[in-house]
Amino acid sequence: MVFPPDRDEASPGRRREALWLALILVLAALLRVWYLAEVVRAPDFTALRQDMEVQDYQARAMLSGNWTPPTPN
């Protein structure tokens, strides 16, 4: 099977598009790494601000439609 000559070598336009795509992907990866490096230093990154009891109350309130605060025990 004989292929046209332009299939063997990438045309300059396709090569330029591939370089732009690679540049954009590398910049996106660097931006993501920079963002994660900043977020890791945040105080709420490792510790949740709410305990499980509050999350359980909110889930039950969403299901039942009853948003009254729970009474303390």
What pLDDT score was predicted for residue 21? 97
| Rg, Å, the chain Cα set | 27
What pLDDT score was predicted for residue 7? 53
Res 72 pLDDT > 90 = no
Q: What's the sign of the alpha-carbon dihedral 34, 37, 43, 45?
A: positive
Chain segment 5-44, per-residue pLDDT in tens: 555 466 888 999 999 999 999 999 999 999 999 988 887 7
Domain ranges for the chain = 11-64
Res 49 pLDDT > 90 = no
